[in-house]
Structure 1
Amino acid sequence: MVLIYVFLGIYLLAMLFVLFYSLAQAHLLFYFFKSKNKPKIEMARDEKSLPMVTVQLPVFNEMYVVERLIDAVAALSYPKDKLEIQILDDSTDETSDIILQKIKKYSGVNFKYLHRSDRKGFKAGALREGLAKAQGEFIAIFDADFVPDADFLLKTLPHFKDSRVGMVQSRWTHLNENYSLLTRLQAFALDAHFMVEQIGRNSQGAFINFNGTAGIWRKSCILDAGNWEEDTLTEDLDLSYRAQKKGWKFIYRPDIESPAELPPVMSAIKSQQFRWTKGGAECARKHLGSVLSGGFSWGKKLHATAHLLNSMIFIAVLLVSLSSIPIWWGFHKGLLPPSLFQASGIFFIGFIIIAMVYFFANISLVGYSLKGILKFLWELPVFLAVSMGLALHNAQAVWEGITGKKTPFVRTPKYNLREKASWTENVYNQFKVPFTTYLEALLAAVFLTVSIISIRTGNYTMLVFHVMLAFGYSVVSFASFRSYAFKRR
């Protein structure tokens, strides 16, 4: 009996964290609506007054996408004598040869090829070494899977007329959104971040983050903030907080679109998710204390707390999921009063808020169309279920981040896939099955069993939740085993 109340306590504490997170999201949604009609800044047109710009392209074993990237940056609308393009190549495969052959075709473009045989500091190290040689007053950064807008520089540079502005971030869009269910669900999540979260934070002057790519920095801001550091897996979030704590202003431009590729297979998605969630936890450990003790407004501190701790949501979801089983059993056996279940309905507010955030973020991008609404109605429950199915994998990453366990930077494989094209021939596919994948399959079986028992006994207390967990863990484990199974012939 006592043990059931222990699980109930764990469940309630985890749900309180989810509620706090959702209330912060609701506040961001309010500012999303409040800021919708802000005027846009005109493009820079006076070529004589344009500053020197360096575009940095950090690359590591990107044979499938690097030519597309080079073509895109070579087509940037900017005076050639004021544009330097650094290819920061850490590759150990044929990517290097592909790059060298490709840039020969652009003799009129100022490409600077910088190859490192030692990947010290990984992406942060490459950016730091490139910055030491950069000629530009401003530094634009694009990862290998991006295809920047030709007018990107002309649209972003006018913001730097304000000497306090240190970085301008554009909105990611998706080259292969409709490739599969997995790419669609990723787009669903990213659109919420780039619409509601980034707009909501930026419009009220809260901390926002450079997203690692598709943004442009003032070089002096990077240096003033201490330059790129590799002590976290999210060097972008780390530098963002260091710069804003020193008083630099960031600008987010959702109207400037930067198309990129979404990982099409679960192993690549997990690699990316692990880096993002662990790096976020590492940045929380590094910055949250100084933000809370700093001279910032309470609103800014609260949003920074929610921002830096947002990866903790996966630990909360995992705890809620696991503790729900003994609680369900307690209700089934009459060990817990039904009034407790009714009172816990207050936590449903959090899920309504989260659903609203995703609704307005995604529907606003398609003009609130009926087709978009109908699409949202099936995407939301599938997205929530699969997100919960990733909770075990991501909770491990968060735990390693908050406890200080160090792991190397693992890149996300790029594919350059057209619709219906196969990903199985990619040489960068991962083949070693992590132990957590077997645990995910086990959890799928456990929650499926609990759901069946609930139906057969007529105890529907947590049936919807457990069915979603069974579905989510089934999808994640099946897609994981499938993605690790294919080897290049």
Structure 2
Amino acid sequence: MMLVLIATLGVLAYASFLLRPSHHGDLLPFLLVITAETWLIAQALLALWTILSSGYDARDFAYHEAKRNLFDPGRILTAGLETAPHRWPMSLHEQETSVDIFITTYGEDLAVIRRTVAAALAIRGEHRTLVLDDGKSDEVRELALELGAEYVRREHNAGAKAGNINQALAMTDGEFFAVFDADFAPKQEFLHETMPYFATDKVAFVQTPQTYGNLHTVLSRGSGYMQSVFYSLIQSGKNRFNAAFCVGTNVVFRRNAIADIGGIYQESKSEDIWTSVLLHERGWRSVYTGAVLAVGDTPETVEAYSKQQLRWATGAFEILFRHNPLSRKRNLTTDQRIQYLTTATFYLNGIAPALLLLVPPLQIYFNLTPVDLGVPTSTWLLYYAGFYFMQIVVALYTMGSFRWETLMLSSASFPIYIHALWNALTKRERKWHVTGRVGASSSPFNYTFPQALVFLFLLLTTVVGLWKGQVTGSFSLALVWNALNTVVLGIFLSVAWREAREIRAQARRVRRGKRRLAAAAPASPAPTSTTSTHLVGGSR
């Protein structure tokens, strides 16, 4: 809390410095800086305000009492279920309750699905586990039946993930249902830790954090740690305002609450946040618990990261343009309006670097400066450090170490967010993409062309700045700033280059393997499969 308060003071001090008339430089670069920085300052203050509320604990007396009585030891012993915790009956308000667990799949690797299904089946507390396969895979069906889960396949993919879940709701009757993406394996205590919150009747869903176990590459670490402050502090702070929202996986819903809004929202690929805001408008409560109860995978490739961020950002912008939380039509509290507005506009933060990238070239090429040249550089750096450095310190404290990969991705992702903003403005339909889907990988340069163009421009600008400094005998802060931006984008493109090289090497290995197989054995007939909607196998 002390760090957050100091960071808040730093933000306010930088704002006062930037807005002081005597510090204004040339109009164009000043407007670029003031537009980007004013937005970042506003978002930073709202985020820090939310973080200050993160000490709120949703575990009240009703929660602890319900948790104590969730399992009846006497009943477990009488039924001889001591060694079968996945069959222990659960009770809320002294009445037995039922839970369905939905695992949504769409072409993920079989080993990943196996891990998640096996973990779901082992969750403590009686439940029914269903694999909802929109990938229509016979191998997934066989896997589900082998492990003892039920298998559901649809005739079509209407409504994407939301439609998949709604189809399963029509085929089941559990009082509650949990949702896991195929790459998030729950822990055994998942229901034991989440179900007691439903002792409060108006709780519609309980969300747990996304935690990642595959942080072994530059990109996976960067994309994974980008979420750490959100799940550690922001979501916890939203609890105080009844504005914590669903993130699509590792979540438990009350069936009656979802029925109250007509099912999981299907008109957007970001069904999670849309469903959340509709529930809050109907007066339902949400709970976020910071307990790590499932571990999954974060994007490991440029393609997966770009598609994930595009989907998330487009969904947020859709809320802003199609369901503005500030509208009088929205039955939300003032706190909820502010929190949803912050969420809907968060990805504009990712567009701000695009404006700031233009400032150093304006000074290098045209001698246009955003800050009056009479202001000492040391003074500007002092205020600037108070704004940015303290936010890094807060993130550093949260994550336990400095993550340069996160700063690199944050600086290089602006084309994704510009694309998302355009999608939302033009109401372009987006194809559904899954983070961990298996298939032939596209070249990462299919998704980094804008960054490559900007990198070349910045590299040329750095060369011009060095030449200009050599001629004039002085090197400006703009040159250092531009060179730093060039290096950051260069690191991002080097990650893409290494990934492209690995994709080519993997393609060569696959071709060699196919040639060896073709030489060793005759071709066999392709297996057939059905696409009718059905549920097979499994048991409680």
Give the TM-score taking structure 1 as reference length: 0.83
Matched, 1:320 2:356: yes
User: Judging changes above 3 Å, is the alpha-carbon distance between structure 1 residues 293 and 475 closer, same or farther for their aligned structure 2 residues?
Assistant: farther
Aligned to 2:209: 171
Amino acid at match of 1:447: L
SS at 2:187 equivalent: coil
Aligned to 2:117: 70
What are the within-5 Å matches in structure 2 for residues 70-469 of structure 1?
Answer: 70-79=117-126, 83-92=127-136, 96-107=137-148, 111-177=149-215, 179-202=216-239, 204-289=240-325, 294=330, 296-327=332-363, 329-330=365-366, 332=367, 337-339=372-374, 349-363=386-400, 375-376=401-402, 379-380=403-404, 382-414=405-437, 427-431=439-443, 433-434=445-446, 437-455=448-466, 457=469, 458-469=474-485
CA distance in 2, matches of 1:460, 1:37: 52
Where in structure 1 are there 5+ consecutive unaligned residues? 364-374, 415-425
User: Judging changes above 3 Å, is the alpha-carbon distance between structure 1 residues 409 and 448 closer, same or farther for their aligned structure 2 residues?
Assistant: same
Aligned to 1:45: 71
> Which of 1 and 2 has higher RCO (CA within 8 Å, sep 6+)?
2
Task: Deviation per CA, 1:80-115: give whole Å up to 9, x if none.
Answer: xxx2222111115xxx222222233344xxx33111
Asked if the contact 1:386/1:475 (under 8 Å) is kept, the reply is: no
User: Judging changes above 3 Å, is the alpha-carbon distance between structure 1 residues 201 and 468 closer, same or farther for their aligned structure 2 residues?
Assistant: farther
Task: Deviation per CA, 1:242-296: give whole Å up to 9, x if none.
Answer: 1112111111111233100122222211111111111211122222245566464
User: Judging changes above 3 Å, is the alpha-carbon distance between structure 1 residues 303 and 103 closer, same or farther for their aligned structure 2 residues?
Assistant: closer
Aligned to 1:419: none
Alpha-carbon offset, residue 327 of structure 1:
4.5
Equivalent residue in structure 1 for 2:43, among 21, 24, 27: 21
Alpha-carbon offset, residue 6 of structure 1:
3.4
User: Judging changes above 3 Å, is the alpha-carbon distance between structure 1 residues 62 and 341 closer, same or farther for their aligned structure 2 residues?
Assistant: farther
CA distance in 2, matches of 1:333, 1:312: 25
Task: Deviation per CA, 1:225-253: give whole Å up to 9, x if none.
Answer: 23223322211011111111211111111
What are the within-5 Å matches in structure 2 for residues 3-14 of structure 1?
Answer: 5-14=27-36
SS at 1:168 equivalent: strand
Asked if the contact 2:281/2:331 (under 8 Å) is kept, the reply is: no
Task: Deviation per CA, 1:443-472: give whole Å up to 9, x if none.
Answer: 122223334444551333234543342123
Task: Deviation per CA, 1:182-239: give whole Å up to 9, x if none.
Answer: 222222211111001111111x214221110001000111121232233222110111
Amino acid at match of 1:479: V
User: Judging changes above 3 Å, is the alpha-carbon distance between structure 1 residues 229 and 298 closer, same or farther for their aligned structure 2 residues?
Assistant: closer
Identity %: 20
User: Judging changes above 3 Å, is the alpha-carbon distance between structure 1 residues 121 and 337 closer, same or farther for their aligned structure 2 residues?
Assistant: same
SS at 2:408 equivalent: helix
Aligned to 2:525: none
CA distance in 2, matches of 1:325, 1:287: 38
Alpha-carbon offset, residue 302 of structure 1:
2.4
Alpha-carbon offset, residue 166 of structure 1:
0.4
SS at 2:156 equivalent: coil
CA distance in 1, matches of 2:242, 2:273: 14
CA distance in 2, matches of 1:480, 1:232: 30
CA distance in 2, matches of 1:452, 1:397: 33
Alpha-carbon offset, residue 322 of structure 1:
2.6
User: Judging changes above 3 Å, is the alpha-carbon distance between structure 1 residues 453 and 385 closer, same or farther for their aligned structure 2 residues?
Assistant: farther
Amino acid at match of 2:414: A
SS at 1:338 equivalent: coil
Greater gyration radius = 2
Asked if the contact 1:19/1:347 (under 8 Å) is kept, the reply is: no
CA distance in 1, matches of 2:370, 2:299: 46
Query: Which region of structure 1 is more displaced relative to structure 2, 53-62 or 180-189?
Result: 180-189
User: Judging changes above 3 Å, is the alpha-carbon distance between structure 1 residues 103 and 37 closer, same or farther for their aligned structure 2 residues?
Assistant: closer
SS at 1:118 equivalent: coil
SS at 1:312 equivalent: helix
Where in structure 2 are there 5+ consecutive unaligned residues? 1-24, 73-88, 511-540
CA distance in 1, matches of 2:231, 2:345: 18
Aligned to 2:101: 55
Asked if the contact 2:211/2:292 (under 8 Å) is kept, the reply is: no
Give the superposed CA RMSD. 2.8
Asked if the contact 1:26/1:357 (under 8 Å) is kept, the reply is: no
Asked if the contact 2:232/2:290 (under 8 Å) is kept, the reply is: yes
Give the TM-score taking structure 2 as reference length: 0.76
User: Judging changes above 3 Å, is the alpha-carbon distance between structure 1 residues 399 and 315 closer, same or farther for their aligned structure 2 residues?
Assistant: farther
Amino acid at match of 2:373: P
Query: Which region of structure 1 is more displaced relative to structure 2, 182-191 or 448-457?
Result: 448-457
